[in-house]
Amino acid sequence: MAEIGRERWSNRTLFIFAAIGSAIGLGNVWRFPYLTYEFGGGSFLIAWIVGLIIMGIPWMMMEFGIGRYFQRSAPGVFEGIGKKWEWLGWWPVFMAFLIVSYYTVILAWSLHYAISSATIAWGMGEAGAAGAGDYFFGTVLNLSEGAGVLGGFQWPLVGLLALTWGILFLLVFRGARHIGKIVFWTVIIPWALLIIILIRGITLPGAVEGLNYYLTPNLAALASPDLWFGAFSQIAFTLSLGMAGMFAYGSFVAKKADITNNAFIASFSNCATSFFAGFAVFSTVGFIMQALSIPVGDVSASGLGLAFVTFPVAISMMPAANGIIGIVFFLCLFFLGIDSALFLVYGGVISPVMDKFGLSRTKATAIICAIAFIVGLLFTTGGGLYWLDIIDRTACFYGLLITGALACIVVGWKFGASKLREHLNETSDIKVGAWWDWLLKLVVPAGLLFVVVYGGFMQDIPAPYGGYPLWAASMIWVILALTLGLSFVLQAIKTKPSKEEAKK
């Protein structure tokens, strides 16, 4: 393949920053705290750490490594392993597409709150705290009574979504080299902002109560398979696995770069960020409990709203600098997410489409950004939050884990885990032993499929997910089947060589 023509990260630090920057995102500050909260705090944390070490790191090494080996994005990798496997590279591309279509809507919420923080639009003091939920679900989202009632667009969100896509388009079409440079700042700035929020959070009265909930495990809860389903889904989401992107990342790495090391650095620094963001969030949850005298379990009306209800409440109740803290927090969320969205759409979707259809970057970027914006409009309607939840269940719970398990099986058995390990070890300071082969071939796929079956199918088949009407919850299966079918269609279409390759 086109090793010479392929674009490259300009140096090792940029690559690591780009990998960390793409991994750290809304997953750390929005999704991690809300899942930890929903699944009961400390026990979820244990499952999440186990998932990181046993599943996440070996899986990430696989995606990076095989991407570098073939020098192609996900579909090209699987086509390289065997023509009949190309679909397995496309399925995660669809997942990346679905995820980025709602991810950008959450970025639009963040912008909305960064703006409304200037005037603390949901109110100050006790009144603001009591009104923050209504502000989010009522004013910002105009939440309808169910998934079947879309109830019109929320125009401010539509505008901010268009703005987000405009920014992404400008950032993406210039390519990986530029992305590396931007990402440096989008990692450093949010980290600085998170430190400010954390200090403010842990000095609030009541913080300890929230932190107890966050850190105290309830061992009995570890027996529940859906907690593990949630934890593994979050590990995949936060490490950007199962979304095709990391294959493309690996393909941008020079042949001599150290993948193993990078995988360790990227996953640990990413998870450290989540753990750290958890302190900021849960100390604030504790503050709210005390301020409004309610028990922990009742704090947020809906899990998805944790960041967007709890933080505004806390902001209203702060003694001073309310507006500034609000602006800082929500801009922080936006910056954290923008580079992740950038890579999600670029590495996960645009790069595979360019490789397959021989399209120029500008053309592919324009087409994909436009379609994703249109799909994302669904989430800016009054029923949007329900659909966001259903699509998250489809893509991030089922999609990532199923495609991830299959990818590990095909790479492990068909391509050969030991061949890939030798490829990784050639350029790495840390040499991985034969144990890794068995993690990849057996432990990771078995673990992922186990939670999909016991935590997923066995819950969502007998009773519709989330209490939604049957037709709405069934969309999970419809979308999974449809995207799988389309992956086979794409496999059947002949790959067009890019202009560079055609010239050779």
Contact positions toward ligand PFF, by CB under 6 A? 22-23, 25-28, 237-238, 240, 243, 245, 340, 343-344, 347-348
C-alpha 246/C-alpha 337 separation (Å) is 17
- Tokens 């989430």 — which residue? 379
For the bound state, the minimum distance from the C-beta of residue 463 to ligand PFF, rounded and expressed in Å, comes to 29
For the bound state, the minimum distance from the C-beta of residue 475 to ligand PFF, rounded and expressed in Å, comes to 22
Looking at the DSSP bridge assignments, the partners of residue 153 are: 381
Question: Which residues, 6+ apart, have CB-to-CB distance to 154 below 8 Å?
Answer: 140, 141, 142, 380, 381, 382, 384
Dihedral of the CA atoms 356, 361, 362, 364 (nearest 10)? 20
Q: Which is nearer to ligand PFF, 98 or 143 (CB)?
A: 98
For the bound state, the minimum distance from the C-beta of residue 252 to ligand PFF, rounded and expressed in Å, comes to 13
Secondary structure letter of residue 434 according to DSSP: T
For the bound state, the minimum distance from the C-beta of residue 497 to ligand PFF, rounded and expressed in Å, comes to 25
Q: Which is nearer to ligand PFF, 270 or 428 (CB)?
A: 270
292-304 residues labelled b (16+ CB within 10 A) or e (exposed): eeeebeebbebeb
For the bound state, the minimum distance from the C-beta of residue 425 to ligand PFF, rounded and expressed in Å, comes to 26
Q: Which is nearer to ligand PFF, 52 or 344 (CB)?
A: 344
Whether residue 87 contacts residue 488, with contact meaning beta carbons closer than 8 Å, is answered with yes
C-alpha 295/C-alpha 289 separation (Å) is 6
Q: Which is nearer to ligand PFF, 307 or 432 (CB)?
A: 307
- The identity of residue 183, as a single letter, is V
Record the tokens describing residue 443, joined without a space: 């432990």
Q: Which is nearer to ligand PFF, 99 or 314 (CB)?
A: 99
For the bound state, the minimum distance from the C-beta of residue 292 to ligand PFF, rounded and expressed in Å, comes to 30
- The identity of residue 434, as a single letter, is A
C-alpha 498/C-alpha 174 separation (Å) is 17
Q: Which is nearer to ligand PFF, 207 or 349 (CB)?
A: 349
For the bound state, the minimum distance from the C-beta of residue 121 to ligand PFF, rounded and expressed in Å, comes to 26
For the bound state, the minimum distance from the C-beta of residue 231 to ligand PFF, rounded and expressed in Å, comes to 14
- The identity of residue 306, as a single letter, is L
Q: Which is nearer to ligand PFF, 305 or 352 (CB)?
A: 352
Q: Which is nearer to ligand PFF, 114 or 277 (CB)?
A: 277
C-alpha 366/C-alpha 82 separation (Å) is 31
Whether residue 241 contacts residue 59, with contact meaning beta carbons closer than 8 Å, is answered with yes
Angle at 466 (CA atoms; ends 241, 141), nearest 5 degrees: 85
For the bound state, the minimum distance from the C-beta of residue 426 to ligand PFF, rounded and expressed in Å, comes to 26
Record the tokens describing residue 451, joined without a space: 């939670």
Q: Which is nearer to ligand PFF, 227 or 239 (CB)?
A: 239
For the bound state, the minimum distance from the C-beta of residue 418 to ligand PFF, rounded and expressed in Å, comes to 28
C-alpha 179/C-alpha 324 separation (Å) is 29
- Tokens 């996960």 — which residue? 348
- 281: nearest Cα among 352, 200, 187: 200
C-alpha 356/C-alpha 414 separation (Å) is 23
Q: Indicate the residue whose CB is closest to ligand PFF.
A: 27
- 32: nearest Cα among 55, 51, 17, 18: 51
For the bound state, the minimum distance from the C-beta of residue 67 to ligand PFF, rounded and expressed in Å, comes to 12
Whether residue 260 contacts residue 57, with contact meaning beta carbons closer than 8 Å, is answered with no
For the bound state, the minimum distance from the C-beta of residue 18 to ligand PFF, rounded and expressed in Å, comes to 10
- 348: nearest Cα among 250, 247, 242, 244: 244
Q: Which is nearer to ligand PFF, 41 or 352 (CB)?
A: 352
Record the tokens describing residue 458, joined without a space: 């066995």
